[in-house]
Amino acid sequence: MRPCAMLITNVQLLVTFGVVAAQVEVPEPENFYRRALHSIAVVGNFLYLEGGRISQSDGSQKQAVTSDTGEEYDKPQDKTPVLPTITRTNPHEAVNSTLSISLKESWNNETVRFNGIKKWKKPSSTNSNLWPDTTNNILYQWGGDGSQESRPGITNASVWLLSPNEGGGGTWDVVQPASGTDDVIRRSSGADVVCGGQAYVVGGFLSTTNSSTTLESNNRKTAPGMLSFSLDSQTWTNQSLSSDLRGPKEVMQLKGACITGFDNTSMIVTTGGMSKSRKTHARKPVGLEKVRIYNQRRRRWFTQETTGAIPPDRYDHCMVGVTSPDGSFDIYVYGGRSNSPDALDDVWVLTLPGFHWMRIDISSPRRFSHACAVVGKRQMLVNGGLASSEDAWNTKDPWKQGLGILDLTEWKWSNGYDAKAKDYQSPSAIKDWYKNGGMKDVVWSSSELKEMFASCFTDDKLCSSSPSRLIAILCGALGGVAALALIAGLIYYIRRKKRMGEANRDEPPSLDRQFDHQFDHQDSFSLQSRRTHTIDSTKAGMELDYQVSPLSELPHAELPHTEFASPISELDATPQRPRDFVSHEQFARKS
């Protein structure tokens, strides 16, 4: 064959393979079937999707393709020849890309554009923990199920960090925590919550990446208690070592949310999950008639009974929380599974401080092992999920690309994200419950819990706009240092405006004062400083440089520059990252 002909043939093969590779990531909406077991989080103006599995249709034949461990879930039903796919037989050949979706502008689930981020050396996983650090505009990932064994220098305590750029791309690097690493064992399927500057993992399974622990496929060992990772100091703490902090025991596949605005601190609330008997190893879904609460300031777990129409027991659901200007904190729960092979299709809201459940009267698709996050100001984005444990990956998702949006104020589903949506307001059903004296029916589990929550409720009104509540919300959402900086700035701003107002009452405004007034409206307080991350680059570099094969020899799947089935762009622009990270160039420098 002539050289030119050979070149053309090779290019055609690469393009063909590239299109199929892209379809594994983002198939055409009509070819999309299911995405599940992944994690999502919002940082800045983008939603990030990490790990999980995806199934899709390729022509007349359906293929189940994974993007984590690479194992086929369902074999093709016929023997029709197909083009090469990225169905993996080796966990190190998983699809090496993270997806992001812009939240700057509105879109619908058929036209939404995905960005692809290469993961040069970071393996994909399922049921991992994804922690957004909104103060520093970075994203952490830890744990999950997926192989790490042939990654020298990667330990149970190692954390992956994504430094995003302004276009939805970014770079993954590895962080080696400075302390607390001896008591950390990898885990998956726990409740992962970012709260008050800490990333928490509650319960879950011992991860299949922990080679030092023998794991049985039909009887996986649970990970009791709670771990915390400081986003500021990048250090681990095993909260389970203290008997007062163990919290939920032998529970996995539960969900959690961060509560702000009460008791001048931030708190974690967990719902549902699958409990396991220590004696018989029998498992059963956890009921929602009670919720568990961890108070950061008091460093204690509490249990509180709920009222209203109690939702059915469940696990593998999704959950988000949002603060209302009326003073309530509303927690939304969607789907999951219980004792039936079919997923649940209900949506519920638990309003605090009343601890009262309400079912939202809307028709929703059945799904479990899905992911959800608050996007914009009042919308819950839901992505992926399976409808049943039977033939799970071969039923087509009724939502294009597995994306659905719930307006949390109007309680209505839509197929698109509204970037201009107004602020969240508690729906009238929640407001009416408080106005009608619902708080009188709350039976507090302890006087301490009542002090924590009921103190923000007087005369059938919630303390919605008090300065102390504002400070509590800021501290809970941003963490102590960042919140204090913002509060100091706000105090300065308010005092300056007050002085100007008093001066204006005594004398007519001068041109200088008019200029000052215009300048005041432009004042802003930026908290986007980047700290220096604590990584021993010298030590890590020595280990990685001499033990890792050249980057070209590491198996990975790239997304070539070609037309993809669904809008996707690969963003290679390197963002400005904190120094001392182990880059992929350093990873292969001395190999």
Residue 100 confidence (pLDDT)? 97
Residue 86 confidence (pLDDT)? 35
Q: Are 117 and 558 in contact (CB under 8 A)?
A: no
Is residue 409 scored above 90 in pLDDT?
yes
Q: Which residues pair with 63 in a beta bridge?
A: 56
Sheet holding 412-414, edge to edge: 371-375, 379-383, 403-407, 412-414
User: Does residue 334 belong to any structural domain of this protein?
Assistant: yes
pTM of the shown model: 0.73
Give the pLDDT mean for 500-505: 45
CA gap 40, 197 in Å, rounded: 19
Q: Are 126 and 95 in contact (CB under 8 A)?
A: no
All residues at 6 or more sequence positions from 111 whose CB lies less than 8 Å from its CB, including other chains: 567
Taking alpha carbons only, the member of 68, 136, 130 closest to residue 100 is: 130
Give the pLDDT mean for 308-333: 97
The one-letter amino acid code at 110 reads E
Q: Are 26 and 52 in contact (CB under 8 A)?
A: no
Residue 507 confidence (pLDDT)? 40
Residue 249 confidence (pLDDT)? 65
User: Does residue 213 belong to any structural domain of this protein?
Assistant: yes
Q: Are 227 and 239 in contact (CB under 8 A)?
A: yes
User: Which stretches of 296-439 are DSSP H helices?
Assistant: 428-435
Is the preceding omega at residue 353 within 30 degrees of 0, hence cis? Answer: yes
User: Does residue 535 belong to any structural domain of this protein?
Assistant: no
Q: Are 407 and 332 in contact (CB under 8 A)?
A: no
CA-to-CA separations, 497 to 212, 485, 490, 503, 516, in angstroms, rounded = 61, 19, 11, 10, 10
CA gap 366, 227 in Å, rounded: 32
Give the pLDDT mean for 383-401: 93
Tokens 């959690």 belong to which residue? 256
The pair phi, psi for residue 454, each rounded to 5°, is -70, -20
CA gap 144, 126 in Å, rounded: 5
Number of domains within the chain: 1
Taking alpha carbons only, the member of 298, 206, 194, 190 closest to residue 244 is: 298
All residues at 6 or more sequence positions from 55 whose CB lies less than 8 Å from its CB, including other chains: 33, 34, 62, 63, 64, 65, 73, 74, 393, 394
Q: Which residues pair with 90 in a beta bridge?
A: none
CA gap 7, 505 in Å, rounded: 81
Is residue 63 scored above 70 in pLDDT?
no
CA gap 367, 350 in Å, rounded: 20
Which among 363-377, 523-537, 569-583 has the top mean pLDDT? 363-377
The pair phi, psi for residue 238, each rounded to 5°, is -90, 95
Residue 21 confidence (pLDDT)? 39
Dump pLDDT digits (tens) for 448-477. Answer: 999 999 876 665 566 654 444 444 444 444
Dump pLDDT digits (tens) for 88-113. Answer: 322 223 445 899 999 999 999 999 99
CATH assignment of the domain containing 378: 2.120.10.80
- DSSP-derived secondary structure letter, 115: E
- DSSP-derived secondary structure letter, 430: H
The one-letter amino acid code at 551 reads L
Read out DSSP for 45-97? Answer: TEEEEES-EEEEEETTEEEEEESSS---SS--SS----------SSGGGSB-E
Q: Are 434 and 454 in contact (CB under 8 A)?
A: no
All residues at 6 or more sequence positions from 514 whose CB lies less than 8 Å from its CB, including other chains: none
Q: Are 32 and 24 in contact (CB under 8 A)?
A: no
| Cα R_g (the chain), whole angstroms | 25
User: Does residue 346 belong to any structural domain of this protein?
Assistant: yes
Residue 277 confidence (pLDDT)? 74
Q: Is 87 helix (H, G, I), strand (E, B) or coil?
A: coil
User: Does residue 286 belong to any structural domain of this protein?
Assistant: yes
Residue 504 confidence (pLDDT)? 44
Owning domain of residue 205: 15-429
User: Does residue 303 belong to any structural domain of this protein?
Assistant: yes
Q: Are 171 and 190 in contact (CB under 8 A)?
A: no
User: Does residue 118 belong to any structural domain of this protein?
Assistant: yes
What tokens does 1 get? 């064959």
CA gap 355, 357 in Å, rounded: 7
User: Does residue 450 belong to any structural domain of this protein?
Assistant: no
Dump pLDDT digits (tens) for 507-556. Answer: 433 323 332 333 233 333 232 333 333 333 333 333 323 232 332 333 33
